[in-house]
Each structure stands twice: as structure tokens, then as C-alpha cells.
Structure 1
Amino acid sequence: MKSLMQIRKMFPKPGFIILIFVACLVQTETSAQVTIAPSKINLEPDSPQKPDKGILKKIVKPIKFRANRDATETERIYKFLNDRLNKQLNIDTATVNQIMVEFKALVAQDASTKESIKSIIKTHDLDKIANQSVLNDLVKQMGASFDSLRTQMSAVIQEESNNNSQEKRDLISKNSDILKDVREVQYSTASNLAGTNSYVKKDTIYFFKRSLNQKIKVIAWQSPEMNDEFKNYNYNYLSSINLYGYDLSTKGENRKANDILKFQEKGGIIELAQSKGCDVHLTVYNQNGADIKKFLGDNLAQKELLIKLDTLISKSKLKGINIYFNDVSEPDVFVQFIKALRENLRMMSSAIELNITIPAITNNDVSLKSISGYNFHELNSLVDYYFVMTDKITDSESGIAQSSSPLLNSDKYGKSSIESAIGFYANGKIPVSKLIMTVSYTGTLWQVDNFEGNPPNSTIEQELTYDDIIKDYLNKTVNKSSVFQGFDPDQMASYINIMGPNPADKEQIWYEDFRSLYQKYDWALGNGLGGVCIKGIGEDDGYSELWDAIGATLIRIDTIHVDKKHVVVKPALTLSHYVNLFIEDFQWAMESKLNYKDPKTENSICECGYSPSYLKTYRNSPTLWTDYQEYDMDNVNTLDNSLLCYYLWVRWEIYSIFSKWCCIICFILLLLTWGFSSHLARYKLSNDTTLNIMLVSRGVFIFTLFFAFGFYLIFAPQTTILEGANHGAKYFLIIGIIFLTGVIGAWIVAHKLYKNRYARKNMP
């Protein structure tokens, strides 16, 4: 991020404006008798400082190589300014020197543009004082140098932007194989939707399922403000949905009962999540310390809550309760409440989880005081997991624009980080396997004075959803502003710097993207955390990259064996059986789209696409060459089940592999016979009968080569050159053309070779 901080120097300093203003005053008030000693000006370019890294270094480097040329250009501009300002505007030499010194500083810092010069001229009425042609010439001469620097700056920014995008693409590419396998398996174990596969060992078929499981807990925090975004969630990646929830009153009742009713609607999130095998939890929350204290001191209120929860758990089949009290002041009373709740949940089902949400520790005494009400020694045996609120760690009043959820500690941003918060609790308070890290898809827009993260005037302007950030900032130019995207490796967060046409307009957005979430999930996994909790899920509706971050880090593929084993009696197959099977497979290849009947519903069909894993899985199946379905040319054909479809693909691929090797072998034999016969004929080592046999053999090889190549193009699942293998075409016609081509080609070659052999030759 440091490289971008130099961009703030593109804007003019107030000093330049003041000097021009002074110059104007001097022009009208200074007497010719008054002598001001001129200042000396060093026309040699200053030695630029060498920053450790960043954009400025890249800008200075090419400038340094052109030092002599720049010195000449600076001297020329100085002489021009001295001539125009001193002689035509009657400004004294000392003032000209002061202006030039400021000009040199501005050039060195890339801090002006033509528009800035025009603005200064208009602001101080120089266009009324001086001749317009003089001012236009001044703008032109100065603007040429500024334009050069702006071009340089734009090139460097573009380079940084490309590098930033390339790093992101490299990370996605690195995980593409993992994501490809995850997407192919698709269904979670809990969903019970994974298909059954099989493999053969000796004479026994073993059936198994490949499905997805979470390496650690992956919990989605669902707010009632969300609309229908939940319909697009990938529930196969999620352990549970945490509903927010039950707004606890001092009497134990829910102050927002409509929120629960919305979740319970027909086709709502509870029904959909459970149909996908995803558990549903409910958060009971209150953020008012006085209300919490009153509730914990009222046994009747607690009993009322337990009764309400019993009803909700039974009706909605909830698998977990999360307690989120923002201010707990009496540890013993809170422990007694948790004990009562734990016992009540166990009576309903031992599988129901009890979780507690706790604050993240930051660099202030308030956060330390906020956890004084938790007796972790007592709570650990009662609580399954602790949700640590690491999604909003940073202090918005600090005046430093930064990520809301930085991962690592840093000298610049302090110790308020996920690393620090988790480390605090894991240090003898809570087992690290019970800690859940919280992240958020919501970004923050900061109004800043600079892009260096320096206080004191950076303030949060508003919160933005991930969808808003993509649509309003990354996919277009914002109100003629310059937008630059970067990534902070300490905070593990992405940011966007927005530079408006007005130098004072600077904004900065901090948010999570694929890279930042990938790094944070990987950190949670590597440090043995119990899981991650995601707030604002659904704010990325329409985009997949944040789901991909989950899939690439937190999802594994499990193989589960099904308790079904059948001893196989291999049937004796005749040649005619294989010929008939080939003919049926050939006819099925004429179908433009291969479908099979859905086993769940009678009237639905499923598309059977190709996967390279089919050959590995079914190649050795003992029923591969026996199970098939006859093709009916007069009707729309649909296979009876998915296994027949998979078998077709495997047999097609075996045909294509056999054809390919036939092509290779025939081509090699063709070359060998041609070379060998040429050698025999040249040195007269053989009789005509042998040469004729080899001549006919070459014709056979050419014919077989064309024929086998045609079959390869038709059956190979990876190619669509001839629209073969489930792509739909009139293959009999194609095969006929290939057959005739091979025959004609073989005949032409044989005839030509024969003719050349017996052609009359001129004798000496």
C-alpha cells in the first residue's frame, strides 16, 4: 500500500497559490526604486530520496536516468518564467525566484496539472492583470512538463493495478484444481444428494459416495434484513445458518417476533437450509447492559425464555442456540443462566449446540472490561463454541483509515487484529478449538486527507455491501474520479483509493475479497480454530468468488463406502455380443443430447455430461460390456438410469483410445514399409513379389489409418471436430465418406507407386 501513498502529492499545495497571489500584489505595489536582492536558484535537479519501495521509487528511477535532460528543461522553463513574469508582468526577481523554487518542488513531487494552473490564474484574476496570450503560453509551457509527469504516474498506477490483478488471478489459478474437484462432487454429505459410484476389486463391486464436508465449522450469520439472497447460497459449503434472531426483552420475550416468522415462512431460509442438509441455529441477543442485568436477575424471565426456545426448537428443528449479550457485568449470575439453558437443551436433545458470542479484544480498556463478566473456567464445560466478534475490531475514532478486520498485528495499525484477539482468548482462557473467527462481507468507506493512513482526520463515511463495491467502484469510473485497487499484506484486506477531480476529495474503501478471505480462512485452519462465522453473507449475491474462497480452503472431499457388496459372476461374452454392443453404442452416439431418467421423479430427466473420472471409475466394472440399452431410431431416447449413461461414455472413450493407437501403429508401419521397400528396390535386394506385397500393405495401412482416424474423431469425448460422441450428426454418412477417402487414397498411392515402378525409363 505504501507505493500508492505518493499519489497524494499529485495535487497542488496551498503554498503555490499563495506565491502567485503575492506575485500579483507585488506587481501593483512594488516601486521601481525598491531593490530586492535576488535569490540564487540551483538549476541542477535535486537528488531524489530513495524510499524503500512503492510508486514514487518507480517514478524517480526513470527521472534520475534523464537527469541532464531534465536539468535543461528546468532551466528553459526558468528562463521562460523569468522573461514573462519579470519583464511582461513586472514582478521583481526575488519573487520570480520564489515562484520558481516552489515550481521545482511541485515538479519533483508530481503535484500539478494544466487544470491546476488555469484554476490558479482564474482564482487570482491573473487573466485580467496580464495579457491573455502570455498566460496561455505560460500554461502551455508548464503544462507540458506536468503532462509528462502525469503520463508517468498513470503508467506506474496501471502497472501496479495490473500486478495487483495478476496476484489475485494467480491465487485463483493456484486453487483452480481444488475448486474443480469440489464443484464436480458438488453435494455435501449431510444433503444425502451425492450419487453412488462403484469400483471393482477381484470379483466384487464396491459402492461408494464422494461428497463434501467442512474441515472446520462454516457458519453463515443471517440477518432478517436480507431478502431472497438466501435462495442462492451454496449450502453444501455451510455447516449451519445462524439466525439473528431473538431480540430478548427483560421479560424473556421476543421483541421482534416478526423476524422469526419471516425465517419460518414456507420456502424460507429454515426450510431451504434444512432441505440441503444445513443445520439452523438461533441467536438470542440484547445489547443493553441494564436490560441484560435485569433479565439475569429475574428467574421468571429466564423460565419464559426457556419455554419460548423449547417451542421454537421443536417447531423449526433448530440445532443450536447462540447467546449474544453485549454487556455482562455479573459472572456468577451469567454462569447460572448458561447452566440452566444447557440443561434445558440437553433434555430436548444432546445434539443441540450452545454457543456464546464474545467481543474481540482491542487496544483499549473498554474491551478488557467487556469480558470481565465471563468466567471462562466455568463456561468452557457448558459451551460448545465461542463466536469472537473479529469482524469489527478497529476503532473508527482512531482517525486512521484501515480494515475493520485486520488479520495481523503491525507497527502502523497497532495490535487490534484477529491475531491478537484470538491469541488473547487462547492464552489459558478458552481452548482454541472452541473459538470461531468472525469475518464480514461489508466494507467501509472512509473520508481521508491522505492515503498514508495518517491521523487525525480519517472518518468512516458509510458501510458498503460487497455488491455495491463491485458495481459502483470496481466496474466503472466514479464521478470522473481515479480508482485504484490494492491489497495490504499485514491487514490481509483489500482497499480502493478514490481520487476526485478536486484535490481535497479523497476516499478509501476497505473490504474483503477472494484473497483476503482465503488468507484469513487459511490462517484459521492453520491455527486450529473451531471455525469461521460469516456476517453479511448474501451481500455478494450474483458473484461466486467469495464462495470460492470457502471452497478452496475450508472444504474437503470425503469418500464414503456404502455397505453393499455384490459378488460378480462374469458372463461369457461372444464376438457377436461385442459387435451388437458396438452397433448400439454407435447409434446412441447419433443423439444430440444424452439424458437419463431422474430416479426421484418419473417425468423428469437429467443431462448426462462427460467427466474424465468416468474412465477411471468404471473401466474395470464387470458389467461395463454387458449392461446397455437398445437404441430405438423411431423414438426420443432416454437412458433408464445414470449408470447406463456413464457406461456409454466409458465405452466411447475406449473406442477412441483403440482408434488412436490404430492410427499411430498404421502410420509407423506405413513409414517402415515405405522406407524398407525403397531400400530393397534401390539396391535390388528383393524380387518383384516381395515389393508388390509391401506395396499392397501400404495401401491397407493408408486405408486403415483413415478409417481409424475417423472413428477417433467420432468417439473421442474431448473433440467435437466431427460432432462425435453425443454431439449429434449423421455418422453413417461421415463414416462412408471416411471409408471411401481411405480406399481412394490407398488406390491412388498404390497406382502411383506401381506406375513409377514399371514406367519405361530412358536407357543410356
Structure 2
Amino acid sequence: MYSLIRTVSGFFLILIIFLSLKNNVHANNVCPSPYDTGSGIKTINLPTFQKDTTGKVKLLQKIIAALRFTKNARAREQQRVITIIRTVMADSMVATAADIKKLNAELSLQQNQHFDSLRALINNIIASQEKDTVLAPDETPAEPPAPIPETDVASLISKIIPILQQKEKEERNSEAQQKQLVAVRALYGRPHDKVDTLRLSDTLGVTYTITLGHKAHVIGVHPYWMNDKYLQYNFTALSTVSFYGYTTEKDIKAKNIPPAPLNIFNLAAAAGKSRMFTYYETDPAHIEALLKDEDAQFRCIDSLLPLLQQYQADGINIWFSQLSAKQRDAFSRFVTLLSNYFEHNGQQQYTITVTLPAYDDQSAYDLRALDPLTDHFLIDFTKASGTRAGALSPMKGDARRAIEPVMSRFLNLQIAPSKFILLLSYYGTQWKKSPTGGKDVFTRYVPFSEIRNKYPGDSSVIYDEDAVAAYIEEKDANGDVTSEIWFDNENTLDVKYDYILNNGLGGVAIWPLGADDGYGELWDELAYKFISIDTTFTDTIKLGPPTIVTSSWWTRVVNKVSHEMLTLKLLFTDPCQLEAEKDRDDSFFAYVTLFFFIIALLIGFFYAYNVRMTGMDWPWRKLVLRILIAWVLITAFFGIVTLFLNRDVPFGITHADVTNAKSKCVTIPMLDLLLIFTVGLLLGMLIMRILIRPLLSKNDKP
């Protein structure tokens, strides 16, 4: 009982003390820390948004204010937002609540989540505001716009920042691309057999060769109507050049190639690229006449092989459109006949590729039967279809024409991914928009060069991030969209090329080359993505000064004598082989001749002196005379050898004709010459003995 009373009393005591103290509640105030040396209550002012009492707060100010108090905002993101807004909107431009809501709604769409799309949207707001601010003379100004909700501004900032981050990433990729292209271009025209040396240390290095290769196949299709635009092609970026210009007529006979020579094949061959013909047919009647008649197929195939041999092509691409289900087996038999014919009659192995539609709704192609007969399948993404404006080769979307679902369907056939090559177009498509929101109408294919000429700036380009495609809206005088032009540029092709490389596909085929004539960004993107710099290390070498091997005097004499004996051997067998020794020193035999000549003079003086002093009775006269004659003959022999080896002597055997570098060596072996000389000497002595000596009198005989 005592403890209970004590507890209750303590509770009431604490309550009385608390109520007797003065307690102030401060908004935005906090109590000081016990460790704070200051005294009293400290106030922290929490940040608040500035109230928009006028309804005319600038968009730039709203963005800066929102970024300043966004939890994850960073300084450079704030600066990027300021930069982009300043480039597209004047500082005096007023953004209304409706403008912010419109931007939020548009940026919520996938196709507008791109830097250039953001610019286009803000430009549209500027245009609409300028149009709304033009008042008639008797018109009164409208009421001030309503204040912009802070939530709308914050939502806008959350959408803009990722777009600017994506732009920064694109700029970094562009810088990396330029560095890669500089390295690739430095190797243009480099001899394939040039060897470089890399220093590993002060005394050791490795030799290596550098060549340009490809990460995957890059086939460029040149149609005959592009004429001489091939003169501007970057053949280094291509691995294969395909000429589109071979078809059949009603009688199933091969149509002649255009009369202009196929100089594109010559340039491709000079660049070391493969050459291919595209055998195409777009008329269903011609295809039916060919596939139903086996004799017609043989006549067609007989005309293909001479064509490939004449232009030194490496293969054929079969591009038939509008095949039907009933032609499925017939087409497979035709490709089988072509494959067997090339295998048994061609002197080289020719490649066969088949172009397939992205969506084979009639199952006209038996891929499992064609797989062992062909080298690659070209998946055609160059045909416009559907009733809504869109890209030729979207990444996602319609399962009949989008790259990802189409390739997923092909890869499920258990065919190697490396056999599939995406055929992408350098043409855009123009669509007429329905004013009532109904079906769009495809009107024509537009070359990339025409699009760039008509719309040189980026402000008019809108990107569909889902389809990975660019499009441009064409508007009438009232600002209504009348048509759209969908196309691929370097930004959209960058993503599609990455898809090809990351999924191990066979490569890309470009249709048609020349559609970008005058612009180089598509070539740069192609080279950046697919050209590889291949380095092959060949050997490890010493970088120190070469060691000079000194040999003895006797070794040098032996080597010299051996070399000159080989020269004598060649003189007696095949003197023309001496022409291969361009640095041969011919002075050796000249010195030998001079030596023998001096000795012969000394022997002659010695013989003459003794005959003069002793007379003919000198006992050594005959011996010395024989030695002198032999010595003179040896001297004469070496003298002849010296003359034959001397390149400055016009009648020398190894004389070099400097006026004609292609002149051939025409000579006879020394042995044959000596035989001729000996036979001539013997004949002369025989004639002297038989014919001339009997005619002489005894007194005339020596």
C-alpha cells in the first residue's frame, strides 16, 4: 500500500512541474544539442518553392528552382538543363501551365524520349506561343495564366534529366568513334606485307603486321541504276560487294548485264574484297515459269557460271520476291541444282546466299532444306508494309517486321546465328497521314541523301526510342501533320549494328549503296562498328647492335677463292646465273690477270737475256720457253675471263644493258667458247700443214 501511494504521488509531482514550465512550439525550430556551446534555440530555414503569384514564371527559373531542391540532382545535370533550355527558348519566353503539362505528356511517350525530340517539342511550344501572342487590333489581352503546379515542374525535371544523360553518353561514344576512325584511316592503303617492330626492352623487340579485318560480314549491294556512284564508296568498310543487275526474261534466258563494264568489281578486287552477283526476280510470272520447268532452270544455271567466271565473282545471291507456298519445293530443288552445278563444274568454290522476307506468311522457303546448300541467309527489312506509318526495320513492335521478334523466330529454327545477315535499307519511307486518324498510305521510298538535303538540321528529327528509328513530320500551313518520313541514320543504325554483333549474327547487308551519296556519316558508322584492326605478331628479335663476326686471314682467303671458283664454274656452265649477283665484285680476276701478266713479262725478260748472253746453246732454253708459253696462255685465259665478267665491256658475256631493263642475258658457256677456239686453232694448223706448207720452196720454209 505504501509503494502504491509513493508511485501515485511521484506521478502527480512530475505533472505539476511540467505544467508550471513555459513551453513554446516553434515551426522550423529545433532544440540545441547538449554538445552545442551556444545557448538558446536555433532556427533552421527549410527550403520552399517560390509561390507563382503572377503566373508568368519563366521555364528556366522553374527548372533551376526544381533542380536546386531535387534530392538526387547534381551540379552538372543542372548545368545541362540550363544549357539545353537556353539553346531552344529565349530567356524572356514564358512557360504556362499548359506548356508544362504538354511537355510532360509528350515526354511520357517512348518515341519522344530523345534529346532531339526534346528540342523539337520545346520548339513547337515556342511556335504555338508566338502564334497565340499575335492579337488583333481590337482584341483585348487574355487573362494572366494560372500558376504552374510544382508537381508538374518536378515531373518535367525527372523526364529531362535522363534524356540529357543519354545525350552525354552519345557524345562520349562519338568521341570514341572518332578515335577509332582515326586509327582505322591511318591504315588505309597500307601494304599487307609491311612489318613493324615493337620495342619490349632495350635489347628485345617483336615484329608484327597490322591488317584491317571485319567483326562480321558487311555486304554492300550496288544496283545498276546507281551508275558510277561506286567511285565514292569506302570499299575498306565492306567485306563483299554485290552487283544487283542480273535477272531473267519471259523466255527464261539470261538477260545481259548492262553494257557499261563492271568497274566496281575491279575496284573491289583491288581492295581485296569478295564480289557477288545478285540474281533477282520481281515478276511472279517469271518466277513461276522458271520453277515449273527444269529445262529452263538448267539453261538459267548454265548462264550463271560463265557470268561468274567472266567477272571473277565469288558467288551469287538469289533474291526472288513473292514466292508462294506451292513453289516451296520447286525453289529448294532449284537451289540444289545450282549448288551441285557449282560444285562439279566450277574451278573454285562459289558461295550461294538466299534473300528471305522478314515475314514468310506463306512458308514459301524451306530453311532446313536450304541450310546445307547455302552460305548465308539475307533477311530482308527493306520493304514497306502495314497501314500505319513506321520504320522499315524497327527493333521492337510488329512481329512481322520488327528485328527482335523476326530474328527470334528465325533463330528458333536451330540454324546457326552466323548464317543470318540483316538486309537494312538506306532508303526512308514517306507516308501520307490520314486527317481523320484512319489508315496511313505509303507513297514512296526516299533516299537518305534527299532527306539530308531537305532537312539539314537536327531540330526537325524526332526519334522513336521503341522502334529505334527517326522520323520527320511534314506539316501544312495550318500546322497539321500531312505526312511522315521514317528513316535510319547513324544514331539508329548504331543500335542495330550492336544488336547484330552482340547476338553473333552473320553481319549486315546495305541496300542500296549510293543512297547516301554526298554524306559520310553512314559510312563512318559502318566502319566504326565492323572494321577491326588485326595485329599479328611474327617473331621476337634482338634490338642491340649486330654482332660483327671476325674471321681469320686464312678463312677469308678460302672463302674468296671458293667464291671465285664458283664464278669460274658458272662461266663454264651457265654464265647468265651471274646476273643474279648484282653486287658481285669483278676486280678479283683483273688483279689475277695483272699478276700473271707481270710474271709473264719477267719470264720473257729472263728468257731473252739468257739467249742473248749464251746463245741458242743455253741448256734451259726449251724448258723456260715452254714455261713462258704456258704462262702466256694462262694469262690470256684470265684476261678473257676478266673481259667476260666486266659489265662495261660491250661484248662481255654478262654485259648489263642499262638502256633496256627487261633485256635478257644471251651468251654461251666458256667451255663451248674454248672448244670453238681450240677447233679453230686445230683447223688452222691443219690447213697450214696440208695446203700452204707444200707450196713453199725449201728456201722459203722456216
Displacement of 1:536: 2.2
Counterparts of 1:114 and 1:172 in 2: how far apart (Å)? 35
Q: Which residue number corresponds to residue 317 of structure 1? A: 312
1:380 aligns with 2:356: no
Paired residues of 2:252 and 2:289 also in contact (CA < 8 A): no
Paired residues of 1:448 and 1:508 also in contact (CA < 8 A): yes
Deviation track 1:490-537 (CA, whole Å, cap 9, x = no partner) reads 111112233343233533221111111111011011111111110022
Partner of 1:54, secondary structure, is helix
Displacement of 1:389: 0.4
Partner of 2:455, secondary structure, is helix
Report the CA distance shift for 1:528/1:250 in structure 2 as closer, same or farther (over 3 A): farther
Q: Which residue number corresponds to residue 185 of structure 1? A: 187
Partner of 1:226, secondary structure, is helix
Higher relative contact order (CA 8 A, sep 6+): 2
Paired residues of 2:247 and 2:280 also in contact (CA < 8 A): yes
1:188-199 equivalent positions in 2, closer than 5 A: 193=192, 195-199=194-198
Q: 1:285 aligns with which of 280, 297, 304?
A: 280
Deviation track 1:108-164 (CA, whole Å, cap 9, x = no partner) reads x9996786899xxxxxxxxxxxxxxx95121x6259989x9xxx9xx99x9999999
Report the CA distance shift for 1:182/1:135 in structure 2 as closer, same or farther (over 3 A): closer
1:264-413 equivalent positions in 2, closer than 5 A: 264-265=261-262, 268-326=263-321, 327-328=323-324, 329-347=326-344, 348-361=346-359, 367-369=360-362, 372-392=363-383, 394-396=384-386, 398=387, 400-409=388-397
Displacement of 1:373: 2.6
Paired residues of 1:114 and 1:143 also in contact (CA < 8 A): no
Q: Which residue number corresponds to residue 51 of structure 2? A: none
Partner of 1:175, secondary structure, is helix
Paired residues of 1:407 and 1:492 also in contact (CA < 8 A): yes
One-letter amino acid matched to 1:549? E
Q: 2:424 aligns with which of 439, 442, 461?
A: 439
Q: Which residue number corresponds to residue 493 of structure 1? A: 469
Q: 2:438 aligns with which of 442, 456, 481?
A: 456
One-letter amino acid matched to 2:456? L
Report the CA distance shift for 1:486/1:135 in structure 2 as closer, same or farther (over 3 A): closer
Displacement of 1:201: 6.0
Paired residues of 1:499 and 1:506 also in contact (CA < 8 A): yes
Deviation track 1:96-117 (CA, whole Å, cap 9, x = no partner) reads xxxxxxxxxxxxx999678689
Q: Which residue number corresponds to residue 94 of structure 1? A: none
Displacement of 1:222: 0.9
Paired residues of 1:113 and 1:143 also in contact (CA < 8 A): no
Partner of 1:141, secondary structure, is coil
One-letter amino acid matched to 2:361? L
Paired residues of 2:423 and 2:509 also in contact (CA < 8 A): yes
Displacement of 1:435: 0.7
Counterparts of 2:516 and 2:143 in 1: how far apart (Å)? 44
Paired residues of 2:358 and 2:400 also in contact (CA < 8 A): no
Q: Is there any run of 5+ residues in structure 1 with no aligned partner, and where?
A: 1-43, 58-108, 119-133, 362-366, 477-482, 574-764
Report the CA distance shift for 1:45/1:570 in structure 2 as closer, same or farther (over 3 A): closer
Partner of 1:381, secondary structure, is helix
Counterparts of 2:452 and 2:99 in 1: how far apart (Å)? 41
Partner of 1:547, secondary structure, is helix
Counterparts of 1:464 and 1:163 in 2: how far apart (Å)? 32
Q: 2:106 aligns with which of 49, 54, 76?
A: 54
Counterparts of 1:516 and 1:248 in 2: how far apart (Å)? 36
Counterparts of 2:376 and 2:164 in 1: how far apart (Å)? 42
One-letter amino acid matched to 1:337? F
Report the CA distance shift for 1:166/1:488 in structure 2 as closer, same or farther (over 3 A): farther
Report the CA distance shift for 1:512/1:449 in structure 2 as closer, same or farther (over 3 A): same
Displacement of 1:194: 6.7
Partner of 2:394, secondary structure, is coil
Counterparts of 1:238 and 1:462 in 2: how far apart (Å)? 28
Q: 1:421 aligns with which of 406, 429, 450?
A: 406
Counterparts of 1:389 and 1:304 in 2: how far apart (Å)? 28
Displacement of 1:238: 0.7
Paired residues of 2:218 and 2:507 also in contact (CA < 8 A): yes
Partner of 2:186, secondary structure, is helix
Counterparts of 1:304 and 1:143 in 2: how far apart (Å)? 82
Displacement of 1:299: 2.5
One-letter amino acid matched to 1:338? V
Counterparts of 2:503 and 2:535 in 1: how far apart (Å)? 26
1:469 aligns with 2:451: yes
Measured on the aligned residues, the alpha-carbon RMSD in Å equals 4.0
Q: Which residue number corresponds to residue 247 of structure 2? A: 247
Paired residues of 1:449 and 1:504 also in contact (CA < 8 A): no
Report the CA distance shift for 1:421/1:194 in structure 2 as closer, same or farther (over 3 A): farther
Q: Which residue number corresponds to residue 211 of structure 2? A: 211
1:137 aligns with 2:138: yes
Paired residues of 2:204 and 2:544 also in contact (CA < 8 A): no
Displacement of 1:287: 1.9
Report the CA distance shift for 1:215/1:351 in structure 2 as closer, same or farther (over 3 A): farther
**How many residues are paired up?**
426
Report the CA distance shift for 1:504/1:248 in structure 2 as closer, same or farther (over 3 A): same
One-letter amino acid matched to 1:360? A
Q: Which residue number corresponds to residue 570 of structure 1? A: 545
Displacement of 1:207: 3.4
Deviates more, 1:509-518 or 1:176-185: 176-185
Partner of 1:549, secondary structure, is helix
Counterparts of 2:217 and 2:516 in 1: how far apart (Å)? 20
Counterparts of 1:507 and 1:160 in 2: how far apart (Å)? 30
One-letter amino acid matched to 2:516? D
One-letter amino acid matched to 1:406? P
Paired residues of 2:242 and 2:277 also in contact (CA < 8 A): yes
Displacement of 1:391: 2.6
Report the CA distance shift for 1:48/1:213 in structure 2 as closer, same or farther (over 3 A): closer
Counterparts of 1:258 and 1:529 in 2: how far apart (Å)? 32
One-letter amino acid matched to 1:447? K
Q: Which residue number corresponds to residue 632 of structure 1? A: none
Report the CA distance shift for 1:276/1:45 in structure 2 as closer, same or farther (over 3 A): closer
Displacement of 1:572: 8.7
Report the CA distance shift for 1:110/1:236 in structure 2 as closer, same or farther (over 3 A): closer
Paired residues of 1:161 and 1:486 also in contact (CA < 8 A): no
Report the CA distance shift for 1:271/1:297 in structure 2 as closer, same or farther (over 3 A): same
Report the CA distance shift for 1:529/1:137 in structure 2 as closer, same or farther (over 3 A): same
One-letter amino acid matched to 2:138? D
Displacement of 1:560: 2.6
1:649-664 equivalent positions in 2, closer than 5 A: none
Counterparts of 2:535 and 2:403 in 1: how far apart (Å)? 34
Deviation track 1:263-317 (CA, whole Å, cap 9, x = no partner) reads x34xx21111111111110111112333222212223222222221121111111
Counterparts of 1:199 and 1:111 in 2: how far apart (Å)? 60
Q: Which residue number corresponds to residue 532 of structure 1? A: 508
Deviates more, 1:373-382 or 1:528-537: 373-382
Paired residues of 1:187 and 1:212 also in contact (CA < 8 A): no
Counterparts of 2:461 and 2:332 in 1: how far apart (Å)? 47
Counterparts of 1:467 and 1:273 in 2: how far apart (Å)? 23
Q: Which residue number corresponds to residue 236 of structure 1? A: 236
Displacement of 1:237: 1.4
- Bigger Rg, structure 1 or 2: 2
Partner of 1:249, secondary structure, is coil
Displacement of 1:181: 2.2
Partner of 1:136, secondary structure, is coil
Q: Which residue number corresponds to residue 553 of structure 1? A: 529
Counterparts of 1:537 and 1:334 in 2: how far apart (Å)? 28
Q: 1:515 aligns with which of 491, 503, 508?
A: 491
Counterparts of 2:128 and 2:490 in 1: how far apart (Å)? 36
